[in-house]
């Protein structure tokens, strides 16, 4: 235990030092942007190898080594070697299935706008009458759900045709799939896979109709290609839009350990990938699968994806910074556990700093899932995640979707974030050492939950074995957080929950420390403030607390400086209606804060003279 804590602290200090050395600006609050791609004017890259110029109308026979005689993007991908660059002239490239195994640079020329599309225009249509048109289409992408998808649970909400990867766009507008011709209208299309036909319910002569033709934009393969062995280096890609691909825009091969794996056994086949000012949108499944250590994604936009926006697998030293992640699961597939970002399968030292995660009605936000170690989640703004229509149910910790989700993993610091109007702002499930400091929760909850899920007989096999065992899911911290209900809110602010059947074997408090939290309740707010377990003397081992005074009687050591106030009775935010969640200097809760550990102060780059404060924003 002490060794684990020491390693975790050491990791955070090392990361803080790396940020300082590399010039990253960490602040103890969300920065406010700029998030997502920022228009750039790129100089020609200075590379050790060749620079290849390509254009949408490039000549495949051209050498491509001069700006005035560009080749095609397909031809350039067959020529590049490690240390080369591809410079793209502006325009739309309808291309995909581009294979790469070299560490190259890829960027636009100057400030020209570059877009890679996975669709082709469909111009040949037959008018069948009664508002129905049909085209023949060869490149179709049928798919069935994964074998772990439970048909009898989700099949009433998600028809099987939603798992197919074909997409149709009318003037860039995404159309949903239909299960038969009777559902086809201006917003839905139908695919007859046997006859290879696509049907739409709007006049194609009046619209630009685009249909998916490519499965992936860039596939970074792990083995030999074009006479070259893989150099194990990831590409650097800047300033390009990737959109409308049938499965995903990016696939980076690597190790997928289907067992508990040591850190050095994965993440090494492709390292150092960098994406900056890149847009990924409208991929029928996932924006990108990224494998490999030292992956950086900065100022990118990932939107309008389906099961996941970004999928990071079995990788270490990852940085996601100042990105926008929005509108995942646009097909509303149920039973698939969607997430705008999923960090999966034994990743180490993954840092999510100062990102905007927003408008995810049918999806989780950022999810560290299965066997992750020493995560850092700082200064992010997460808003409108989930529907907030599901009322609290004391028999389950699930409440729809979660803005930040940490499951079956060990060690994470969650600090300086804003969680605004989310089903659950923070959900810690079956994990060890989640430390939650200095966050602002507005109409959003924090939940820590334990279940008997273990490596024996689990539906997903080895997954639980990669995290802490049932009796090791503790050592959590909740300190200096601000919880505010500005409207009707259906959940307790804090829910520490465990399955009642565990009460006999797990009677210790899973929370190591909890103090300096301030709660601002709505006068019309009738829900409990805190729901807590284990309390063996209570029915089902749980107890509800309407206010802090009642909670203090059960846990006096965890409530020495915390406070609760009714909304409207105290000065609060500088601009609730303008989404400015900085606290007014006269907010009385400031004095309730407790001192942070020095390692967390260093992580947040808090001024050493800064007094302790509540929530994500330092007090003036």
| Angle, alpha carbons 84-350-25 (nearest 5°) | 80
Q: Tokens for 200?
A: 């739409």
> Residue 20 has what pLDDT?
35
Q: Has residue 206 got a pLDDT over 50?
A: yes
Report the alpha-carbon distance of residue 88 to residue 106 in Å, rounded: 8
H-type alpha helices, 229-373? none
CA 494, CA 154: separation in Å to the nearest integer?
29
- First and final CA of the chain: distance in angstroms? 38
- Give the span between the Cα atoms of 238 and 261, in whole angstroms: 33
Residue 233 in 3-state DSSP?
strand
Share of the chain above pLDDT 90, in %: 82
Q: What are the pLDDT digits (tens) for 333-356?
A: 999 999 999 999 999 999 999 999
Q: What is the pLDDT of residues 212-228, one digit of tens each?
A: 999 999 999 999 999 99
Tokens 């050395």, residue? 21
Mean pLDDT of the 154-170 span = 96
For the stretch 293-332, pLDDT in tens is: 999 999 999 999 999 999 999 999 999 999 999 999 999 9
Q: What are phi and psi of 350, to 5 degrees?
A: -95, 125
Question: Each residue of 166-182: pLDDT tens digit?
Answer: 999 999 999 999 999 99
Give me the mean pLDDT over the 113-124 stretch.
98
Cα–Cα distance, 302 to 342 (Å, whole number)? 13
Using a pLDDT cut of 70, give the percent of the chain over it. Answer: 95
What does pTM read for this prediction?
Answer: 0.94
Report the C-alpha gap between 283 and 96 in whole angstroms: 13
pLDDT at 457: 66
pLDDT at 12: 41
Confidence check: pLDDT of 17 > 80:
no
Provide the pLDDT confidence category of residue 507 given band limits of 50, 70 and 90. Answer: confident
H/E run at residue 458: none
Gap between the Cα atoms of 32 and 163, Å rounded: 36
Residue 106 burial (CB count, 10 A) = 28
- Give yes or no for residue 24 having a pLDDT over 60: no
pLDDT digits (tens, 9 = 90+) for 121-130: 999 999 999 9
Q: 591 φ, ψ to 5°?
A: -70, -5
Mean pLDDT of the 525-536 span = 85
CA-based max dimension of the chain: 80
Structure tokens at 356: 């905007």
The per-residue pLDDT for range 445-472, each reduced to its tens digit, is 999 999 999 877 676 778 888 899 999 9
- More confident site: 81 or 488: 81
Tell me if 233 sits within 8 A of 102, measured CB to CB: yes
The C-alpha atoms of residue 152 and residue 333 are separated, in whole angstroms, by 14
- The residue written with tokens 């407790």 in the block is 594
**pLDDT at 9 exceeding the cut of 50:** no
CA-atom Rg of the chain in angstroms: 26
Q: Is the model's pLDDT at 25 over the cut of 70?
A: no
| Strands 197-200 and 188-192, sheet pairing | antiparallel
Q: For 138-149, write each residue's pLDDT tens digit.
A: 999 999 999 989
Task: Identify the residue whose tokens are 């990118």.
Answer: 300
Instruction: Tell me what pLDDT residue 531 has.
Output: 94
Phi and psi at residue 560, in whole multiples of 5°?
Answer: -75, -35
Average pLDDT (260-268) is: 94
Q: Which residue has the higher pLDDT, 38 or 608?
A: 38
Q: What would the mean pLDDT of 483-490 be, rounded to a whole number?
A: 88
Quick one: pLDDT band at residue 2, thresholds 50, 70, 90?
very low
What pLDDT was estimated at residue 309? 98
Contacts for 144-148 with beta carbons within 8 Å, 24 or more apart?
145/335, 145/336, 146/336, 148/459, 148/460
- pLDDT at res. 555: 85
pLDDT surpasses 80 at 564 = yes
- Whether 18 shows a pLDDT value over 80: the answer reads no
Neighbour count for residue 14 (Cβ, 10 Å): 12
Distance CA 31, CA 353 (A): 10
**80 token code pair:** 């590049």
Cα separation, 607 vs 233, whole angstroms:
38
Asked if 296 and 238 touch (Cβ cutoff 8 Å), the reply is no
CB–CB of 539/533 below 8 Å? no
Q: How far is the C-alpha of 209 from the C-alpha of 574, rounded, in Å?
A: 47
- pLDDT for 21 beyond 90: no
Average pLDDT over residues 365-390: 95
Residue 15 has pLDDT above 70, yes or no: no
Given this model, what pLDDT does residue 27 score? Answer: 59
What are the DSSP calls for 158-204, one per residue?
A: S-GGGGS---EEETTEEEEE-SSGGG-BTTEEEEETTTTEEEESS-G
As a whole number of angstroms, the distance between CA 413 and CA 303 comes to: 26
| Distance separating alpha carbons of residues 476 and 596, to the nearest angstrom | 15
Averaged pLDDT of the chain: 92
Rounded to whole angstroms, how far apart are CA atoms 318 and 399?
29
Dihedral angle computed from the Cα positions of residues 76, 81, 84 and 87, in that order, rounded to the nearest 10 degrees: 20
Q: Which residues contact 227 (CB under 8 A, 6 or more apart)?
A: none
**133: pLDDT strictly greater than 70:** yes
């Amino acid at each position: 235990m002490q060794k684990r804590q020491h390693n975790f602290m050491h990791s955070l200090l090392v990361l803080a030092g790396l940020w300082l050395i590399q010039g990253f600006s960490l602040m103890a609050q969300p920065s406010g942007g700029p998030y997502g791609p920022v228009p750039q004017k790129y100089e020609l890259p200075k590379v050790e190898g060749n620079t290849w110029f390509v254009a949408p109308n490039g000549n495949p026979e051209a050498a491509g080594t001069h700006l005035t005689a560009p080749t095609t993007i397909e031809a350039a991908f067959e020529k590049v070697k490690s240390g080369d660059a591809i410079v793209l002239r502006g325009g739309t490239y309808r291309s995909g299935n581009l294979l790469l195994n070299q560490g190259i640079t890829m960027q636009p020329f100057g400030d020209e706008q570059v877009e890679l599309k996975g669709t082709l225009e469909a111009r040949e249509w037959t008018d069948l009458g009664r508002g129905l048109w049909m085209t023949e289409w060869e490149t179709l992408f049928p798919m069935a759900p994964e074998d772990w998808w439970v048909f009898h649970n989700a099949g009433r909400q998600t028809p099987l045709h939603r798992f197919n990867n074909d997409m149709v766009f009318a003037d860039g507008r995404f159309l949903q799939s239909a299960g038969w011709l009777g559902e086809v209208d201006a917003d839905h299309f139908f695919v007859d896979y046997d006859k290879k036909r696509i049907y739409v319910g709007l006049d194609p002569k009046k619209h630009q109709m685009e249909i998916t033709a490519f499965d992936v934009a860039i596939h970074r393969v792990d083995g030999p290609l074009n006479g070259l062995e893989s150099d194990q280096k990831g590409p650097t890609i800047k300033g390009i839009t990737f959109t409308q691909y049938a499965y995903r825009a990016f696939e980076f091969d690597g190790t997928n350990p289907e067992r508990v794996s040591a850190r050095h056994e994965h993440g090494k086949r492709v390292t150092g990938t960098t994406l900056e000012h890149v847009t990924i949108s409208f991929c029928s499944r996932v924006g990108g699968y990224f494998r490999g250590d030292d992956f950086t994604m900065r100022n990118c936009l990932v939107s309008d994806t389906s099961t996941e926006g970004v999928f990071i697998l079995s990788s270490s030293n990852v940085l996601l910074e100042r990105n926008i992640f929005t509108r995942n699961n646009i097909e509303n597939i149920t039973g698939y556990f969607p997430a705008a970002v999923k960090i999966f399968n034994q990743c180490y030292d993954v840092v999510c700093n100062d990102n905007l995660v927003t408008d995810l009605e049918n999806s989780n936000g950022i999810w560290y899932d299965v066997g992750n170690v020493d995560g850092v989640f700082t200064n992010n703004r997460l808003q409108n995640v989930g529907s907030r229509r599901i009322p609290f149910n004391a028999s389950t910790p699930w409440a729809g979707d979660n803005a930040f989700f940490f499951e079956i993993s060990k060690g994470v610091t969650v600090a300086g974030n804003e969680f605004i109007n989310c089903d659950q702002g923070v959900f810690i499930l079956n994990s060890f050492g989640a430390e939650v400091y200095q966050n602002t929760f507005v109409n959003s909850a924090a939940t820590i939950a334990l279940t008997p899920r273990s490596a024996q007989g689990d539906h997903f096999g080895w997954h639980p074995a990669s995290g802490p065992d049932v009796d090791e899911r503790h050592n959590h911290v909740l300190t200096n957080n601000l919880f505010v209900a500005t409207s009707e809110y259906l959940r307790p602010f804090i829910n520490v929950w465990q399955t009642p059947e565990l009460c006999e074997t797990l009677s210790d408090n899973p929370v190591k420390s909890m103090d300096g939290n301030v709660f601002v309740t709505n006068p019309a707010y009738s829900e409990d403030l805190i729901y807590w377990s284990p309390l063996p003397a209570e029915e089902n081992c749980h107890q509800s607390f309407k206010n802090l005074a009642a909670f203090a009687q059960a846990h006096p050591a965890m409530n020495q400086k915390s406070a609760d106030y009714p909304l409207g009775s105290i000065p609060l935010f500088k601009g609730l209606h303008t989404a400015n969640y900085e606290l007014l200097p006269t907010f009385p809760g400031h004095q309730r804060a407790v001192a942070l550990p020095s390692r967390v102060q260093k992580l947040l780059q808090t001024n050493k003279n800064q007094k302790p404060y509540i929530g994500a924003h330092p007090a003036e």
